[in-house]
Structure 1
Amino acid sequence: MRIGMIGLGKMGGNMAERLRRGGHEVIGYDRDPSISDAGSLKELVERLDPPRAVWVMVPAGDPTRAVIEQLGELLSDGDIVVDGGNSHYKDDQRHAVELDAKGIGFVDVGVSGGVWGLEYGYALMAGGAPEHIGQLMPIFEVLKPAGEDGFVRAGGVGGGHFAKMVHNGIEYGMMQAFAEGWELLEASEAVTDIVGTFKSWRHGTVIRSWLLDLMVRALEEDPDLAELKGYAEDSGEGRWTVQAAVEHAVPLPAITAALYARFTSRQTDSPAMKMVAALRNQFGGHAVASSEGQTGKGADSPGADVPPPLP
């Protein structure tokens, strides 16, 4: 097939390269002219033969909306737009309606595999009409891992990104569990070979996984993680997963806690923990650290002003 790829960053660029290695012709467009095959979206569309397929790999939100709106003006009846970014599934449904009015198909694809996908393939979760999915199967067959499942038509439009959203929510919970386990091992004097412990879990255990492999890789490079700051962004899908859980009245305590843990990582001096410390000081007489790092008077300290107990 000949396909257009819009956005040639770490994901889009590698996907374009994997498609080329698989025998497809890719016309790429990027804002960076040094890596772009076409000088404009209009030129990209003109270089594709009808029925055209154009894959969009730009940041979710306004950038994706702007590109799809432009493609709606450039493409023709029978063409297909693929959104392979991390868009919200409700955006997919709006885009499908808008493009369908012009006879243009729309498919949303959740893509997982990161920078390793070029070598090992990408897990693909697609949403869209069966006939549109069918037209794109030669592309999906090359992008997914060879000889493995790796691809699913998760449902109609929006189904692909909804599945990827939940996937990323699960990822949040798994990463948080590994991180908490590592912190506990670090805090204990009972285990002296922490890296070796995680390595031993990679074989035969019920928690062996690619995330565990990556964790071992990180610890081998920096056993104490001394080069890193305890800060983690959330890419959006974690929030959307929790919001969807509220909409569907589905309890997600582990994923929700993992999302909140990422918010906590952004606070160098947590306001909530300041209040926890203040309350402990008030009811228990615990020593409390001041903002300058000094220990202030607790309720048991001489001269502390202790209110009388409630009746």
Structure 2
Amino acid sequence: MNTSQKSHIGIIGLSVMGRSLALNMADHGFKVSGYNRSASVTEQVMEDHPHKNLFPFYSLEEFVNSLERPRKVMLMIQAGAPVDAVIDQLVPLLEQGDIVMDGGNSFFEDTRRRSNALAEAGIHYLGVGISGGEEGARFGPSIMPGGEESAYQAVRPILEAIAAKAMGEPCCAYIGPDGAGHYVKMVHNGIEYADMQLIAEAYLLLKYVGNFSNFELADIFREWNQGELKSYLIGITAGIFREADDLDGGQLIDRILDSARQKGTGRWASIESLKQGVDISMITSACGARILSNHLDERKMASAQIEGPGILQADDRAAFAETVRRALYAGKIIAYAQGFSLMQDASERYGWNLDLGTIASIFRAGCIIQAVFLGDITKAYEADSNAGNLMFNPFFGNRINEYQDSLRCAVSTGVLNGLPVPALSQAASYLDAFRSPASGANLIQAQRDCFGAHTYERNDRPGSFHHEWRITDDN
């Protein structure tokens, strides 16, 4: 390629997500160079998706030389060691001022490390969170870039052009320095885990207590998707219940193994929350539910050996469905409140100055957790950028007050009927721990001081105190 034909950007990794992003960029008029470690993958992409703006390369050196300066390279490869390996091969071929972007689900601390290391070589590094799956990558994802803002400005025209649009605005915005973009993507995925688990629990309640058929469930979720629960996940759930089994007749949902795996991002969020001292118990419960779902043999044994209560079906099915809807919405508020509290803490901890309103706005389209609900979150932070927990916002606080009885009813119904509702249960527990003036922590302080002389604090005067506890043993 001569200078006038140089590509605007290059993508390394042409599997599903990389290929889809490359074609998205090409559709928007950007010349894109593509490279994959396996030449056969590159050849297959070009055979299946020929495009006048997509150019294949079969060596890294040729790939790098095909790019206009400053070179812009996006990595769409498996997170972890593969990213470090490609960076090691790539850096000797780059020059000061070039930009490397990692569009995979990398751990944010790895992104911070790589950002610092490449800065020493004069190379800019962006950790770019991307959500939306194959469809989103191909036609408009939600994009969360973090790193040096000057580097983001250089790639901004490309990223904003290919991003999903919500009310005419791109679902892409500069998040913050070093690992901020990948951190926000991590929390996004954690919220996604909680959202999916809440929907799964609503499904169990409606199916077993409400005794709704798959087609009735499809109608319920379709109706829910017309109101305040309108979202990508609710919408696809309605469609899932109607999907016919193409192998054995009936509905496909009834033939799918009751086991769900995870790739780690939700678990990372849970681990970081413990490090930061922020309660995201709903996200943690969703991770735990997936882990337990995989122990199929043990669950089968337990089902045979441990008796459960009989199912008491709802007398008024329509009223029960509305109770579940309200419980789901209340749980959703609390899950997002937890996720945004975690981001707010990280913003202060790492000096990122995250704009939570903007983050909510770029989740409104393109990503998996896209929902009309996010517009309300955006408004909440626009009204007060330091609003704290979302439940303090009048809109969400009023909904919690209005719907919390339904949340408690759904949880108690699940427990009394032996149905697992860990996310809904954690939502109710978090709500009560958050709002209650008494948590029992005074007794824990006393216990710690009694057995370990850890001291305690008083509610009537400042300072730390130790008491010589009189241990009695009536046994």
What's the TM-score bracket when you normalise by the shorter of the two chains? 0.7 to 0.9
**Letter aligned with residue 98 of structure 1:** A
2:294 aligned partner: 266
Give the match for residue 273 of structure 2: 245
Q: Percent identity?
A: 36
**Change in 2 beyond 3 A, CA 1:52/1:239:** same
Counterpart in 1 of 2:188? 167
1:34 corresponds to 2:40:
yes
Higher helix share: 2
Change (3 A) 1:91 1:118: closer
Partner of 2:154: 135
Distance 1:273 1:156 in 2: 50
Deviations 1:266-293 (A, max 9, x none): 111237984995699xxxxxxxxxxxxx
Partner letter of residue 34 of structure 2?
Answer: G
**Conserved in 2, the CA contact under 8 Å of 1:122 and 1:143?**
yes
Q: Using the TM superposition, give the Cα deviation of residue 38 of structure 1 relative to its aligned residue in structure 2, in angstroms.
A: 1.1
1:64 aligns with one of 83, 98, 111: 83
| Superposed counterparts of 1:149-298, under 5 Å | 149-192=170-213, 193-204=216-227, 206-222=228-244, 223=251, 225-270=253-298, 274=302
Which residue, out of 143, 148, 156, partners 2:169? 148
How many positions carry a matched residue from both structures? 280
- State which of 6, 11, 21 in structure 2 corresponds to 1:15: 21
- CA deviations on 1:220-259 (whole Å, 9 max, x unpaired) are 2144612311221111101100011001000111100000
Q: Secondary structure at 2:57's aligned position in 1?
A: coil
Q: Structure 1 residue 188: deviation in Å?
A: 2.5
Unaligned ranges ≥5, structure 2: 1-6, 43-55, 245-250, 309-474
Structure-2 separation of matches of 1:28 and 1:104? 20
Distance 1:19 1:263, change over 3 A: same
Structure 1 residues 138 and 59: alpha-carbon distance in aligned structure 2, compared to 1, 3 A threshold: same
Q: Conserved in 1, the CA contact under 8 Å of 2:139 and 2:162? A: no
Taking the aligned partners of 1:231 and 1:179, their CA distance within structure 2 comes to: 12
State the one-letter code of the partner of 2:186.
M
Compared CA separation, residues 224 and 78, structure 1 to 2 (3 A): closer
Contact map agreement 2:72 2:98 (CA 8 A) in 1: yes
Q: Deviations over 1:182-205 (max 9, x none)?
A: 11211135545222111111102x
189 and 165 in structure 1: CA distance in 2 versus 1, 3 angstrom threshold: closer
SS in 1 for 2:175: strand
Q: Distance in 1 between matches of 2:255 and 2:301?
A: 25
1:124 maps to 2:143: yes
Instruction: Give the TM-score of the pair, scaled to structure 1.
Output: 0.84
Distance in 1 (CA, whole Å) between partners of 2:252 and 2:11 is 40
Q: Which ranges of structure 1 fall in alignment gaps of 5 or more residues?
A: 281-310
Partner residue, 1:3: 9
* Aligned counterpart, 1:77: 96
Q: Do the aligned residues in 2 keep the contact of 1:264 with 1:270 (CA within 8 Å)?
A: no
Task: Give 1:299's aligned residue.
Answer: none
> TM-score w.r.t. structure 2 length?
0.56
Residues 88/231 of structure 1: CA separation in 2 closer, same or farther (3 Å cut): same
Which structure shows the bigger proportion of residues in strand conformation? 1
Residue pair 2:190, 2:265 contacting (<8 A) in 1 also: yes
